[in-house]
Structures are given as structure tokens and as C-alpha cells.
């Protein structure tokens, strides 16, 4: 495994065309106290690498731990066990102060562009604050205009307040704010979930353009498999805090290996009124992450689970391109 | 085609809201009908007027809103002229509605079984004992396991999918002829959404309800509806059988909606999604000509003048001046 390689540094060409690992998560668990003396196991024993320039799509239903994983990568939550390495540096035990140099290299875009902008600040102040807090050096007003241009907003937006914009435009402001410090790595947590269909496509295209233009690496979190398939190079499927399957986006969608991925794909509504038959519908709800099932966490809803699945925790097995955590998949 | 008696017929509905800037037409001359055992989808983006249409039908408009014109006929009876007490009688018994957010539609301090039996007693009378027995039956009907025990749960003890099932149980308590479902699965996870959609389909065929299904999700429409109406800026812009509309949309807005959704199965080497530029106009700020004009890539000078009428084409309708010279793409062949 090439460690800490920057583009152009020896080690980049170990596997032809593959770039160095930027974000490396090893055996990560994030557990929270629930307040009743119980423990919420949001993420458990999760390992994942994201390479430079890659868009890694993370799917899973609410409660699967995908947001917590994103936050752990940015060290916005404390890690219970395991490690998070960014560009070769171990972030796992850094203090808030020690994290500061990394804050400008890693940024986040949230789902709700209404809740994440200060309603009393004008756009130039929102963006200017981000530039001065972490970036510095630039001529402020020039940089603000540059950022607005980058996300496709008119320069006149500068003197306006967030409420004067539509949802899609507000998400553009949030994206501009994230880009203000010239980050390399972006966690986009459901960035289009709150937007109308016709606006979603605009924002997805914008993120793709920015990714190419600025050579960004991205963790793209969404519950919408079609959106994730469209934008991602690889997809990871989470269920109840554990990674169930990882693989190239098109391959996972075209040929899912894990029974949960199969069920998830089967549940996605398709735009073809003729395709109504033969859908597989999962029974029940996801169990609580306070008391996850023994063995395989998916076994209680799995159509092919047996006694073995209750006894053994399946590990993520496979090669670097495709892996599945299921005892029944060989 | 023999004219079927419709369960719901909305004709030229105009719903107006009073705002500080004067009255705004949130719904502006909208037609829709739902026949017995039929599922009709109403599709549109936020602000298109689809929820206001539902609230107008239910008689649940907020204080600032009022029906300004048109007719809403339920089993032939015009509800626009009906008294508030008649409206209340129908609401929850013959016409029921389920909403997007089951958590805010349920009362957090009452057990769910009681919330169902309360509905039954309010409309049908009878003893408390019979009503609670019926509540458990209904919870069972909507697929809640251990219904007897679950009836004693409070809403917060249930998952989102379970809560929506409880809402459906309440809606079905008096065996309505018309069920209005306003984005009932939007807040749910996709596997739970599939469960609820399947449940609604089964219940409809068992109970023979007419369903008006409101959603922004064209994939959900494809899975559940017989016919679809597309709404834009308070007006109907296209309607027809789901299969026909998806195969060959007649209105550029419908085409734009269908094409801008990422598909699960990659259709070739598409990298960029086709988009509809700009955003929906604010209600009440409509200029001359077609409401979709500014965002339409097929717009010509002829689209700028006057108001564009909804034209009937056999069993479809469309609001577009260029309908005869455009061949638009759909999602299925």
C-alpha cells in the first residue's frame, strides 16, 4: 500500500493508473452513550480506503451509520476504536487544535442548505468568513467573486441574504463555502436530498464539474442509489453500522453480491411503468443499533440467512476491487 | 369509452392565498378526476400547487387560503358549496388523507390504538370496546406484527414505517371511498417505501378505494399509478395514462423531469444529466405566455403571447403551443 503519496511522488504507479490513498479508515468503531446507560453502535469495525480523485459513494438507510462514518473521517466525532488516516497522517487522537491544519484540507456539505447558512449574514460575509478563518492570504473580495463564479451564481449574489435564494441556489452557496479554503477532500452528506428533481440534476452536474476542475476527492453520502451510482466511481453499502459490500459503482448496481444490496436495489422505484413485477420486498425494519443482532447484522431480514449467520460475524472478503461481507456469498 | 361515474371530479379549481403582496393563485384552473378503484398520481415540484389542491379537496385550507372558483365533486356532490359540518362529516370517513410526516400527524401523548378507535367512534359511534377491537384489526390489516401489543404503544415507540402504517390504519378506519395520499413515502427509507407502496396497492384492490397519490417522485408514480397529472405553477400541464406519458411525453416540462432523474441502470456513457435550467416561478408572478417559457429549451416566440390553454388529445391533455411539431423523448420505448 503506498503511504502518504502525493500526486507525482514515487509509489503512485504501483498499480497502473491507481492513485495514492488519501483517506484510510481502519477497523473504525464509533459508539455513543444513549443516555439510558446503553450504547448506540453507530459504526462498528469498518475499514475503507478512498484514493485521490475518487468519488466514493456511501449508501444505506437511515440509521446505517453513513453520516457518522463521514463525521468520523473529518474527526467531527471521537473515535471509539480504530483509526482514521488522512494523507498518511494519523488523525485518530489529534486534539481540536491539532486538527486545525487539516480543517482547510477537508470540508463538508450538508443536506439542508436552509439550516446550514446563518440567516443574518450576507453571502459575501458567509464566504469571506470561511476564506479568512482557514484560508487567508487571498484578496477577499476577489476570492468571493471567484467562488460565486465557480458555483454558477451571479456576482450580484454577494450582497444578498440566504433567504433571498431558492433551495438549489442555497446549496450552491454551501458548496462555495466548502470550497473557500481550497480543500482536497469533501464529505457531501445527502447534498441533493432536500432539492426538487429538476434542481437535483443541476447540483449533481455542478459537483461533478467541480470534482474534475479542482481534482477533488469525495465521500458522497446518499440514500438514493441511482444518484450515488451516477456520481460515484465506487460504492459502499452500509447496514446497521457495518460495511456490507464495496465495489465499482456500475458493477455493484448491475450485479449486487450481498443479499442486502440486492434487496435495496430491488426496492428502488424505476421509471418504467412496465417493470412492476418481480420486486423483492424486505420485511420489517432495521433493528436498533443499540442491540444489533448477533453474527451478521442483516440476518434478521435476510432471505438466505441460517444458523451459521447468527453465530459468525462475516468479514468483508474479496479483492481490492470488489468485496462482500456475507457467509453465503463465495 | 363509456363515461364512468367518477369518485372525485375537480373542475377549474382556483385556490387563492392572501399574502402581504396581495392575493396569489396557488392553484389556477386545475382539473383532475379519479374513478372507482383507480390510482391517479399528481406530480409536481415544491410550489406547484399539488398539496394545496389536496387541502382544497379535504377542506383543510389554512386561514389565509380560500377556494375562489371551480368545483370539487365527490360522488357527484359539489364540496365547494357544502357546509362546514357536511365537510367534517365526509372528512375522515368517506374521504381520508395521509400525509408525508407520520410523526407530526400523530398525537404524541396518546397510544396509537386509541387514536384509531377515536376516529372510529367519532364517525361511526359504537362502544369503546368495539372500537378498540376494530383498531387492533386495522393494525393487523396494515401489516403491523403483534397488533394487540402495538396498539398500546405511543407513536415515538414506533419506527417511521410503522407510524405511516398507523396513519394508514386511521385513514382506513371508516372505509373511505377516496384516499388522498400526500407524499406518504417521501420521509421513508427505500425498502420501507417499497413495503408501504405494496401495502397501499393491496389495500386498494381489497377495499376498492379510489386513490389520489401526490408525489414528486416519478419512479414511485411508475410503480403505483394508472394515470398521472403533471402540475406546474398551479396549473395542469399534462395528463394521461402513465405508460403513454412515460413513453412519449407531450409537454417539455414532463420530458425534462423524466430525463433529469439519474437512472439506476446506466444508459450508455452519459456523464452529465440533462437538466431543466432555472427554477419554478413563484406563484402569482406569472407573466404572459407559457408559465414554463423561461426554462423551456423548445420555446419560440409563439409561446410568449396570451395564455396557453390545456388541450385534449384523446385521453390525454397537454398545455403546450408546440405540441404538434415536437417529438419528445420518454424513458421507455
For B136-193, write each residue's pLDDT tens digit: 999 999 989 899 999 999 999 988 888 999 999 999 999 999 999 999 988 888 888 8
Contacts of A153 (CB under 8 A, 6+ apart): A123, A169, A172, A173, A176
Q: What is the pLDDT of residue A112?
A: 81
Residue B154 in grid coordinates: 405511543
The arithmetic mean of pLDDT across residues A26-49, rounded, is: 94
Residues B195 and B319 in one domain: yes
Q: What distance in Å separates the CA atoms of residue A40 and residue A240, rounded to the nearest whole number?
A: 10
Mean pLDDT estimate for chain B: 90
Using CB atoms, which residue from B194, B266, B274 is nearest to A267? Answer: B194
Q: What is the pLDDT of residue A166?
A: 87
Give a yes or no: residue B242 inside a domain: yes
Q: What distance in Å separates the CA atoms of residue A38 and residue A28, rounded to the nearest whole number?
A: 19
Residue A63 in grid coordinates: 440509521
Confidence of residue A67 (pLDDT cuts 50, 70, 90): very high
* Inter-chain touch B266–A229, beta carbons under 8 Å: yes
Kindly give the pairing relationship between strand A323-324 and strand B65-74.
Answer: unpaired
Confidence of residue A212 (pLDDT cuts 50, 70, 90): very high
The arithmetic mean of pLDDT across residues B117-127, rounded, is: 92
Residue A54 in grid coordinates: 475518487
Is residue A224's pLDDT more than 60? yes
| DSSP state string for B219-277 | HHHHHH-SEEEEEETTEEEEEEEHHHHHHS-SSHHHHHHHHHSPPSS--SS--SPP---
Query: Is B265:A256 a contact under the CB 8 Å cutoff?
Result: no
The arithmetic mean of pLDDT across residues A11-38, rounded, is: 80
Lowest mean pLDDT among A197-211, B106-120, B154-168, B274-288: B274-288
Using CB atoms, which residue from B160, B242, B261 is nearest to A197? Answer: B261
Compute CA distances B200 → B14, B53, B58, B223, B229, whole Å.
30, 21, 20, 11, 19
Q: What is the pLDDT of residue B92?
A: 85
Residues B155 and B183 in one domain: no
Q: Quote the number of domains for chain B.
A: 2
Residues B65 and B80 in one domain: yes
First-to-final CA distance of chain A: 25
Residues B235 and B126 in one domain: no
Give a yes or no: residue B264 inside a domain: yes
Give a yes or no: residue B24 inside a domain: yes
Other Cβ atoms less than 10 A from the Cβ of B156: the count is 10
Q: Which helix (H) or strand (E) holds B30?
A: strand B22-34
Residues B184 and B213 in one domain: yes
Which chain A positions have a beta carbon within 8 Å of B218's beta carbon?
197, 271
Confidence of residue A14 (pLDDT cuts 50, 70, 90): very low
Residue A269: HSE in the Cβ half-sphere, 13 Å Cα cutoff: 25
Give a yes or no: residue B47 inside a domain: yes
Confidence of residue B297 (pLDDT cuts 50, 70, 90): very high
Shortest distance, CA B97 to any CA of chain A (angstroms): 23
- State which residue of chain A sits closest to B226, comparing Cα positions: A273
Buried b (16+ CB within 10 A) or exposed e, B5-29: ebbbbbbebbbbbeeeeeebbbbbb
| B219 close to A (CB below 8 A) | yes
Q: What is the pLDDT of residue B266?
A: 65
Confidence of residue B30 (pLDDT cuts 50, 70, 90): very high
Kindly give the pairing relationship between strand A21-33 and strand A81-86.
Answer: antiparallel
Give a yes or no: residue B82 inside a domain: yes
Choose one of B132, B152, B175: the last residue of a domain.
B175
Residues B298 and B320 in one domain: yes
Is residue B331's pLDDT more than 90? no
Q: What distance in Å separates the CA atoms of residue B13 and residue B26, rounded to the nearest whole number?
A: 10
Using CB atoms, which residue from A196, A264, A272 is nearest to B222? Answer: A272
Range of the domain at B270: 1-94+176-333
% of residues, chain B, pLDDT over 90: 70
Residues B134 and B243 in one domain: no
Q: What is the pLDDT of residue A63?
A: 87
Residues B162 and B188 in one domain: no
Give a yes or no: residue B101 inside a domain: no
Is residue B285's pLDDT more than 70? no
Q: What radius of gyration, in Å, describes the C-alpha atoms of chain B?
A: 21
Shortest distance, CA B188 to any CA of chain A (angstroms): 9
> For testing the chain B interface, which of A171, A201, A227 should be mutated: the one with the most B CBs within 10 Å?
A201
| B194 close to A (CB below 8 A) | yes
Mean pLDDT estimate for chain A: 89
Residues B187 and B125 in one domain: no
Choose one of B133, B156, B175: the last residue of a domain.
B175
Give a yes or no: residue B100 inside a domain: no
pLDDT tens, position by position, A246-271: 999 999 999 999 999 999 998 888 88
Residues B239 and B149 in one domain: no
Confidence of residue B69 (pLDDT cuts 50, 70, 90): very high
- Phi and psi at residue B123, to the nearest 5°: -100, -35
CATH code of the domain in which B316 resides? 3.40.50.300
Is residue A138's pLDDT more than 80? no
| B282 close to A (CB below 8 A) | no
Helix (H, G, I), strand (E, B) or coil at B35: coil
Lowest mean pLDDT among A27-31, B12-16, B159-163: B159-163
Q: What distance in Å separates the CA atoms of residue A241 and residue A69, rounded to the nearest whole number?
A: 9
In which order are the strands placed within the sheet that holds B227-232? B95-98, B178-182, B210-215, B39-43, B227-232, B235-241, B316-318, B311-313
Residues B155 and B198 in one domain: no
Choose one of B175, B199, B218: the last residue of a domain.
B175
Residues B28 and B77 in one domain: yes
Confidence of residue A276 (pLDDT cuts 50, 70, 90): low
Which chain B positions have a beta carbon within 8 Å of A196's beta carbon?
45-46, 216, 279-280
| B46 close to A (CB below 8 A) | yes
Q: What distance in Å separates the CA atoms of residue B120 and residue B110, rounded to the nearest whole number?
A: 15
Confidence of residue A76 (pLDDT cuts 50, 70, 90): very high
Q: What is the pLDDT of residue B105?
A: 85
Q: What is the pLDDT of residue A196?
A: 86
Q: What is the pLDDT of residue A3?
A: 41
Give a yes or no: residue B44 inside a domain: yes
Is residue B68's pLDDT more than 50? yes
* Inter-chain touch A201–B217, beta carbons under 8 Å: no
Confidence of residue B262 (pLDDT cuts 50, 70, 90): confident
Compute CA distances A66 → A42, A240, B9, B75, whole Å.
9, 9, 45, 48
Is residue B209's pLDDT more than 80? yes
* Inter-chain touch A168–B191, beta carbons under 8 Å: no
Q: What radius of gyration, in Å, describes the C-alpha atoms of chain A?
A: 21
% of residues, chain A, pLDDT over 90: 70
Is residue A35's pLDDT more than 50? yes
The arithmetic mean of pLDDT across residues A30-58, rounded, is: 94
Compute CA distances A36 → A32, A39, B128, B145, B161, whole Å.
11, 8, 36, 26, 24
pLDDT tens, position by position, B216-257: 999 999 999 999 999 999 999 999 999 999 999 999 999 999
CA–CA–CA angle B292, B298, B303 (5° rounding): 55
Helix (H, G, I), strand (E, B) or coil at B91: strand
Amino acid at each position: 500500500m503506498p503511504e502518504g503519496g502525493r500526486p507525482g511522488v514515487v509509489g503512485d504507479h504501483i498499480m497502473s493508473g491507481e492513485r495514492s490513498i488519501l483517506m484510510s479508515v481502519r477497523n473504525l468503531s464509533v459508539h455513543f452513550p444513549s443516555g439510558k446507560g446503553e450504547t448506540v453502535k453507530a459504526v462498528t469495525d469498518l475499514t475503507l480506503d478512498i484514493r485521490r480523485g475518487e468519488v466514493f459513494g456511501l449508501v444505506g438507510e437511515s440509521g446505517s451509520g453513513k453520516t457518522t462514518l463521514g463525521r468520523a473521517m473529518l474527526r467531527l466525532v471521537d473515535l471509539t476504536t480504530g483509526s482514521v488516516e488522512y494523507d498518511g497522517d494519523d488523525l485518530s487522537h489529534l486534539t481540536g487544535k491539532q486538527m486545525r491544519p487539516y480543517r482547510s484540507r477537508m470540508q463538508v456539505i450538508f443536506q439542508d442548505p436552509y439550516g446550514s447558512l446563518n440567516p443574518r449574514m450576507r453571502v459575501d460575509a458567509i464566504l469571506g468568513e470561511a476564506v479568512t478563518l482557514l484560508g487567508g492570504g487571498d484578496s477577499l473580495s476577489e476570492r468571493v467573486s471567484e467562488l460565486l463564479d465557480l458555483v454558477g451564481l451571479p456576482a450580484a449574489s454577494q450582497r444578498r441574504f440566504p433567504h433571498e435564494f431558492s433551495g438549489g441556489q442555497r446549496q450552491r452557496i454551501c458548496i462555495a463555502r466548502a470550497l473557500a479554503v481550497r480543500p482536497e477532500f469533501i464529505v457531501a452528506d445527502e447534498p441533493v436530498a432536500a432539492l426538487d428533481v429538476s434542481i437535483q440534476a443541476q447540483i449533481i452536474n455542478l459537483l461533478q464539474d467541480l470534482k474534475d476542475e479542482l481534482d477533488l476527492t469525495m465521500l458522497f453520502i446518499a440514500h438514493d442509489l441511482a444518484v450515488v451510482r451516477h456520481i460515484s466511481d465506487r460504492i459502499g453499502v452500509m447496514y446497521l453500522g457495518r460495511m456490507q459490500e464495496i465495489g465499482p459503482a456500475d458493477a455493484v448496481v448491475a450485479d449486487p453480491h450481498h443479499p442486502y444490496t440486492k434487496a435495496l436495489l430491488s426496492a428502488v422505484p424505476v421509471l418504467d411503468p412496465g417493470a412492476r413485477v418481480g420486486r423483492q420486498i424486505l420485511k420489517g425494519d432495521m433493528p436498533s443499533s443499540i442491540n444489533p443482532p448477533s453474527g451478521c447484522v442483516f440476518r434478521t431480514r435476510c432471505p438466505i440467512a441460517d444458523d451459521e449467520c447468527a453465530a459468525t460475524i462475516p468479514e468483508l472478503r474479496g479483492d481490492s476491487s470488489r468485496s462482500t461481507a456475507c457467509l453465503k456469498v463465495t | 369509452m363509456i363515461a364512468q361515474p367518477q369518485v372525485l371530479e375537480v373542475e377549474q379549481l382556483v385556490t387563492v392565498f392572501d399574502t402581504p403582496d396581495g392575493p396569489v393563485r396557488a392553484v389556477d384552473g386545475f382539473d383532475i378526476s379519479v374513478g372507482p378503484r383507480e390510482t391517479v398520481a399528481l406530480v409536481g415540484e415544491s410550489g406547484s400547487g399539488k398539496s394545496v389542491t389536496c387541502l382544497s379537496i379535504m377542506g383543510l385550507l389554512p386561514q389565509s387560503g380560500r377556494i375562489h372558483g371551480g368545483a370539487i365533486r365527490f360522488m357527484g356532490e359539489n364540496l365547494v358549496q357544502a357546509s362546514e359540518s357536511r365537510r367534517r362529516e365526509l372528512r375522515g370517513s368517506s374521504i381520508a388523507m395521509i400525509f408525508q410526516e407520520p410523526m407530526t400527524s400523530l398525537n404524541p401523548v396518546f397510544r396509537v390504538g386509541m387514536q384509531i378507535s377515536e376516529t372510529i367512534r367519532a364517525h361511526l359511534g359504537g362502544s369503546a370496546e368495539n372500537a378498540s377491537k376494530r383498531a387492533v384489526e386495522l393494525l393487523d390489516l396494515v401489516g403491523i406484527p403483534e397488533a394487540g401489543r402495538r396498539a398500546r404503544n405511543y407513536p415515538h415507540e414506533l419506527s417511521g414505517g410503522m407510524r405511516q402504517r398507523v396513519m394508514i390504519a386511521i385513514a382506513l378506519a371508516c372505509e373511505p371511498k377516496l384516499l388522498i395520499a400526500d407524499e406518504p413515502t417521501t420521509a421513508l427509507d427505500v425498502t420501507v417505501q417499497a413495503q408501504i407502496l405494496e401495502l397501499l396497492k393491496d389495500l386498494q384492490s381489497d377495499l376498492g378505494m379510489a386513490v389520489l397519490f401526490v408525489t414528486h417522485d416519478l419512479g414511485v408514480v411508475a410503480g403505483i399509478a394508472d394515470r398521472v397529472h403533471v402540475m406546474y405553477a398551479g396549473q395542469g400541464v399534462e395528463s394521461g395514462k402513465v405508460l403513454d406519458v412515460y413513453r412519449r411525453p407531450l409537454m417539455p416540462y414532463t420530458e425534462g423531469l423524466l430525463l433529469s432523474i439519474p437512472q439506476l441502470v446506466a444508459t450508455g456513457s452519459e456523464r452529465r444529466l440533462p437538466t431543466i435550467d432555472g427554477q419554478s416561478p413563484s406563484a402569482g408572478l406569472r407573466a404572459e405566455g407559457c408559465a414554463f417559457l423561461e426554462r423551456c429549451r423548445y420555446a419560440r416566440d409563439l409561446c410568449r403571447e396570451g395564455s396557453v390553454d390545456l388541450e385534449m388529445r384523446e385521453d390525454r391533455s397537454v398545455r403546450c403551443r408546440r405540441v404538434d411539431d415536437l417529438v419528445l423523448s420518454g424513458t421507455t420505448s
